[in-house]
Structure 1
């Protein structure tokens, strides 16, 4: 016996397979005793057993097998029977493929090789698709001929399946990326699934209907021709507890296809060796309140093991489709929201037009008689001061209203400029010099340096007037000593306007926000705290319309400088607006309101005269959302310099890209400047991509920043790991330019949409609060001064009749304006703020109704108002709001009742409700107007029809107040019988939910 020929020596080591071979009595096999084996075989068996790579020896004519521990998983349940057995018998199901390969190696002595080779084998109790990379090499028998075949094999099923499934996920994302409709996204996503029948034999996508009770078939793939169509609509009960599909949905375990076909009443598959026998039922997330957006029914391949990888792939498929559906649904909702906002914008345009007209009337009726009376030289000092106060506040009201309406028009993009070649120096000198007297009275010096310019400048003179007046007025407001300067200089090819002061200055942290609408510097020392906070924002918008810019420089305690830069010429302006006619009435109030306001700051009471008709403004709509700017700031972290440069070049045409070499540097860069998106390699020295991602998600400042991981690791495990760690996307290298840009833009778009919705919601809330505050304070204050002054004059017994009449008209007009402002405030609160708040308290309804009737009877002595009361008259209501309801309804009835006919008011009880009834015998309300009676009216719809003339808000406010008390309003209007408004409210107001309104007419 030669050395190393015994079984113990040949099979020494080798792990479990070595032990198994040592336990076999080889003398009883066809190979005979081990010491009789050819030396080449004995030597190679020892080499194979000691190797950690999967290897198998197939020896002799029958290709008897010897293999190591690493090869055992390839055999599955064929081990240990395969040891010493013929390869043809072990692999009978694929020997038609393997047999010729072995014969070729033995015949020619040349090796064979294959990569990712598909073999359909049976090693786990079912026929399975498996992939291998292998090498077949001849083994010499010692006599110059091959005695067998050495097989080196590596199973690559996991790699092949991972790449195939990753490609499917990429196809789903890419195909549905640009879908703008839910139906389109569903169809594209499922079509992409249909391109991978090896993993997904068929797919059915059901989306939940809006009613929440049904799910409708949105798309299907993989059903052979001739297959009966599945149920187009399923009741949600099949997915809920006790339903036919609930168990499979909850457990995520395979469901028999036959059972699924029975539920769907369809033949899902045909007969065949690859026909799926089981399917998965998956819920798709993304709907509101945690309810599913739909359900995905996917067939499982009979040639693949349903393991954790397969289960994870199914979850990713459902997740990708959920994202695609959610993106499309968000786009549809945004589109609907935009259409709603556009409709609201049109309604607001009409509404503000009506408001402007209605403000013009009472203001004209106030200022006209005031100027007539002031022109008289018979007024005593006290009387003149009172009327001057009325005139000054009236002009201030003009300025405030016009500023608000101008800004609304600008924000809505509805301003049409009319650019004219203008001697800008002369115009600016005239505007600035008008402040000379006010500046002198303030103890300051006015410096005006506006030399002639070499050429006329194309501007809208009215807009330029607003720019200069706002800047100079603002300087005067915040300057207490020193000077105010206005300079206009030629800076070819531009012209530059500078307005400087030596005032209180602006803190550096406030400068970035100084041009924001409604932003006011906190704690700033000025001559007055009043103001809308939109003057500088208006200046910025007007300058932008001219293609220019405005900036502010300031040092606290030393003053501020505002610099406006306009391009010369007209090439930068819209050609159609050059010397174009105006489409709106002029809105510039002139210098008078600014100087009157300044005189109030300086304690000067002498007003500057001016015709009211010259300062009235035409209103427009509230601001609408601006479009999101493209691009963004991307932070790229990758330790490979070439990769950093490559990705930077791909992205820098559309984005600002900042590159760093590791995770720690990325954190420092994000601290210095918060990025819009992070692209990070996974493998980096120090802090890797996953560590960087964890740091970002743990920091409240960066937790919402979109994050995309880049990696050379393919396969679904890597993708799942990245997404589970919190990444927004996972991109495998190498990637194409289109894929990278599509992923980055998609993630940025979703992040911006979320931020945009949050910002718009916050801006709208801020705007509503500011609007209500501005109107309440800055409109009511001057009117209060006017009303009190007029009332003081009317109480003077020595006042002559010719003086009393115009003052009485002033008082009446001011009261009318006051009521209108109250209605506008209530309208704003109800329309934008969500409703009208009430403060119920114990109330004597009889006493309140008598008080309202007495006041209105005194105001209308020529009309008869009859009051009938019944019941106890006790309720728990908001007394002020109830008085507002009665006042609006009775005033409306008084106005539209025929001369000589009374207005009848009844207050009584019906069970647990109180009834307020107002009747007049005027012309009936047309039936076409009844459905819109309690909405804000348009002008021209209310002529002689029992509807208030102001801005159509009276009945709208009545309806909201009544519904806030849990009541309802009814109206009956019949020819020959008149019109009756009936209010029914529970005696105790405990809920804001209103009843249904009933419109009755004959």
Structure 2
């Protein structure tokens, strides 16, 4: 039984049933089922061979009722058609054949995948009907190939297809050629094609991403950035038919920054969240998109990420091309686009923040410059009033002064001049930075001047065991330089060479090279590591861990040299190799003088002495006071020669004084003869004060040698650092001589255990108590720390809560080394720290702002003494009255000894009995 069905004015294809099941076909979105058996199927053997080859389309065509098509039954097909059909079906490349004026279609399996839902209904149908939506693009090349008998080649042909339920933008590379009949006539069209939609769209999107990246650039204005991004997207709107960039404000809301493809007023100006933007109806915006101008009905909202763990910096609303499916590739493109925009916004905000920081730093720098300029008078006036009287006294009465007095005044003058040099250098550098300093050039015999300046430091170089070679032959003509500035350049470079050279020599060489004067200062010193060279001339820069004769300095010397040379229109460079030496080269033009008046200058010898603070002076070290050694031997370690001489004079009446210039020399001295006390500076070249302390504590023979630190690093944190490292006492510069003498005597007494124990009658269990009348406190028995066994360890901590953690760490380590049971050690830690906390909180008006702790461990018995130096006071009202004594008494025997100058708490834990140990 047969049935024909008209679908849109054309005859439906006819397929037989298979096992009673009709074979379906799709036509214009409807499924058409035909139940009809073709008589052609039984035609001679040549009929079946046309569709042989085993392809799916071959089987479909073999079962197709061709008699109902313009080409008629298969048995009547001309040989040319038969051969063409076999060729198409045998190919694995997408191929299609149309035959006759009705463009009846034959195609293979590969082509069937290109037309999607139009297959298999397109078999035997008119190509112009099957591809009606794209025929406008195909008509001309197809008809031209058939009429002109010429094959065409069209790469990336844009073709509209409705193969997936929507109007789809596709691209094909296709060739159309004529198909010939048996008589050589053009009977149809033969086309070979391949779809390149994915490649075309991917390249287009890649170009768009590049355009957005280029437009974003390095912009500091994020709103201008948003405008440029939208402008770039608007130039190629196929994949992004509309765009809106929203940026977060200070309140976290999204504010519209730029729009393209749609009237900005049709989008919300502010949105609380990205979710609110997702509720925008894209279809109501009236935007056309895609290559065919269809209405945009969908849009996506993408957050602009601010980075890992940060809040988004905005959101991106983009329309979707109505002729492309929103598949994974499209979504990836959106994510890349959002990532680029987000990165650009983050960079813009970072640039803006950096600019704001730079402006703030510039403002601080201007304030600093103003400050130094304003205080220059305040700094120089007291220096003048200090130096002038000393200079006058030495000039007028130097011969009549006692030697000790003259030496003290000479020391004060020399170090006052050193301070003046530091102040002058700092102020001059600030003045140069602010643009208020200019070189006043005068004609100078630069060779003679340079030789004289270099010779100022000859004595310092020779005392250091170095040779100083000065090679400054006469120049062909005078050079125009500022004499005061040239003096600072030469002295700074030569002093630097002496400071960092230990063996060999220093060379100063001056030459004329064309219109330039070239000064070279070379040395055989320690050299400079390559990574440090780029920053060598920056202000305050100092090469870390570089051996030197002294750690003193401001880090301004080389920076000042560069600035002064620059004011003369010159340059300064350095070549250096670690372990070989360095060569500094100054090059500046001969120039023309600005004036004939030579400005006054400080005598170079004065400035030279101020540049070498490590150098042994001719006065103090030559005539030290005769030592008496009443108290013991003290080793003074300092890299400043004047400081060593001063301390020697100060301590010699009561101590036998030995000196060392750095920690390494001190260790050699201690190895020869152990001192009673070591008095050391912290910042020294080579082995510094902390390195010396660690070395002493690591050696069993010197572990108990008391160490007192002197340092310019004032402040509580510096003191805590010193005590935490194991120092016995810590004194900041400047200090009073009487305080230093008292500290040294106290440290020595503690180390020798000379203090007498407190009278037993005064001992009583510790308990918090209210303040007593002053008369009663004065009548109390003094409370020195009890005498310590030889194996006792003594520490001193600042009287602050910050001292409790270092006390806990030291005590824990000591008890562990003594082999105490972990539980017992823990109990003693609690008791000792509670006693120290009480000493900090309750002692008022301390004569010394410290808490002394002594620990003795003998044969398993432990005694811990904690002493403050103040008068008892109650803390806040007595919510916790008695808590401290109860806590300490729970762990050990506690005895408190009060006194007018402090309270001593002694915690004793006897050696456990064998039974206790077993338990």
1:257 to 276, 282, 301: 282
When residues 106 and 401 of structure 1 are mapped into structure 2, their CA distance, relative to the original with a 3 A threshold, is same
Counterpart residue number, 1:824: none
Counterpart residue number, 1:926: none
In the aligned structure 2, how far is the partner of 1:481 from the partner of 1:18?
Answer: 98
Query: Residue 441 of structure 1: CA displacement?
Result: 5.5
2:320 to 300, 304, 320: 300
Counterpart residue number, 1:315: 335
Query: Residue 775 of structure 1: CA displacement?
Result: 8.3
1:749-764 alignment, distance < 5 Å = none
Counterpart residue number, 1:119: 159
In the aligned structure 1, how far is the partner of 2:222 from the partner of 2:532?
Answer: 45
What is the DSSP-based 3-state SS (H/G/I as helix, E as strand, rest coil) of the residue aligned with 2:266? coil
When residues 601 and 842 of structure 1 are mapped into structure 2, their CA distance, relative to the original with a 3 A threshold, is closer
Task: Give structure 2 stretches of 5+ with no counterpart.
Answer: 1-39, 622-710, 716-729, 742-797, 805-837, 850-873, 879-919
When residues 35 and 154 of structure 1 are mapped into structure 2, their CA distance, relative to the original with a 3 A threshold, is same
When residues 143 and 602 of structure 1 are mapped into structure 2, their CA distance, relative to the original with a 3 A threshold, is same
Q: Is the 8 A contact 1:477 1:526 kept in 2?
A: yes
In the aligned structure 2, how far is the partner of 1:542 from the partner of 1:116?
Answer: 68
Query: Residue 42 of structure 1: CA displacement?
Result: 0.9
Counterpart residue number, 1:234: 271
Query: Residue 418 of structure 1: CA displacement?
Result: 2.9
Counterpart residue number, 2:232: 192
Q: Is the 8 A contact 1:406 1:587 kept in 2?
A: no
Query: Residue 217 of structure 1: CA displacement?
Result: 0.7
In the aligned structure 1, how far is the partner of 2:142 from the partner of 2:107?
Answer: 16
1:147-166 alignment, distance < 5 Å = 147-166=187-206
2:587 to 565, 590, 595: 565
Q: Size of the alignment, in residue pairs?
A: 619
When residues 522 and 332 of structure 1 are mapped into structure 2, their CA distance, relative to the original with a 3 A threshold, is closer
User: Is 2:401 the partner of 1:361?
Assistant: no
Q: Is the 8 A contact 1:394 1:782 kept in 2?
A: no
User: Is 2:240 the partner of 1:221?
Assistant: no
Query: Residue 48 of structure 1: CA displacement?
Result: 1.0
Query: Residue 588 of structure 1: CA displacement?
Result: 7.2
Counterpart residue number, 2:609: 595
Q: TM-score, normalised by structure 1?
A: 0.54
When residues 361 and 103 of structure 1 are mapped into structure 2, their CA distance, relative to the original with a 3 A threshold, is closer
When residues 115 and 521 of structure 1 are mapped into structure 2, their CA distance, relative to the original with a 3 A threshold, is closer
When residues 405 and 6 of structure 1 are mapped into structure 2, their CA distance, relative to the original with a 3 A threshold, is farther
Counterpart residue number, 1:419: 441
In the aligned structure 2, how far is the partner of 1:485 from the partner of 1:270?
Answer: 79
1:758-797 alignment, distance < 5 Å = 784=733, 788=737
When residues 94 and 473 of structure 1 are mapped into structure 2, their CA distance, relative to the original with a 3 A threshold, is closer
Q: Is the 8 A contact 1:839 1:878 kept in 2?
A: no
| Root-mean-square deviation over aligned CA pairs | 4.6
Q: Is the 8 A contact 1:54 1:68 kept in 2?
A: yes
When residues 596 and 104 of structure 1 are mapped into structure 2, their CA distance, relative to the original with a 3 A threshold, is closer
User: Is 2:117 the partner of 1:77?
Assistant: yes
Counterpart residue number, 1:539: 561
In the aligned structure 1, how far is the partner of 2:581 from the partner of 2:78?
Answer: 104
Which structure ranks higher in relative contact order (CA pairs < 8 Å, sequence separation ≥ 6)? 1
2:619 to 605, 611, 618: 605
In the aligned structure 1, how far is the partner of 2:115 from the partner of 2:580?
Answer: 88
Query: Residue 366 of structure 1: CA displacement?
Result: 2.3
Query: Residue 529 of structure 1: CA displacement?
Result: 3.4
Query: Residue 360 of structure 1: CA displacement?
Result: 1.8
Deviations 1:46-68 (A, max 9, x none): 11112222110111232211111
When residues 295 and 479 of structure 1 are mapped into structure 2, their CA distance, relative to the original with a 3 A threshold, is closer
Q: Is the 8 A contact 1:510 1:521 kept in 2?
A: no
What is the DSSP-based 3-state SS (H/G/I as helix, E as strand, rest coil) of the residue aligned with 1:317? helix
Counterpart residue number, 1:471: 493
2:533 to 508, 512, 522: 512
When residues 411 and 10 of structure 1 are mapped into structure 2, their CA distance, relative to the original with a 3 A threshold, is farther
Counterpart residue number, 2:90: 50
When residues 122 and 413 of structure 1 are mapped into structure 2, their CA distance, relative to the original with a 3 A threshold, is farther
In the aligned structure 1, how far is the partner of 2:337 from the partner of 2:436?
Answer: 47
In the aligned structure 1, how far is the partner of 2:579 from the partner of 2:566?
Answer: 30
Counterpart residue number, 1:889: none
Counterpart residue number, 2:133: 93
In the aligned structure 1, how far is the partner of 2:842 from the partner of 2:53?
Answer: 96
Q: Is the 8 A contact 1:469 1:591 kept in 2?
A: no
Query: Residue 193 of structure 1: CA displacement?
Result: 1.3
In the aligned structure 2, how far is the partner of 1:27 from the partner of 1:307?
Answer: 43
1:946-985 alignment, distance < 5 Å = none
Q: Is the 8 A contact 2:511 2:518 kept in 1?
A: yes
Comparing 165-174 with 300-309, greater Cα deviation is found at 165-174
User: Is 2:291 the partner of 1:291?
Assistant: no
Q: TM-score, normalised by structure 2?
A: 0.59
In the aligned structure 2, how far is the partner of 1:880 from the partner of 1:274?
Answer: 89
Query: Residue 788 of structure 1: CA displacement?
Result: 4.6
Q: Is the 8 A contact 1:402 1:587 kept in 2?
A: no
In the aligned structure 1, how far is the partner of 2:565 from the partner of 2:198?
Answer: 63
User: Is 2:195 the partner of 1:146?
Assistant: no
Query: Residue 281 of structure 1: CA displacement?
Result: 0.6
Query: Residue 19 of structure 1: CA displacement?
Result: 3.1
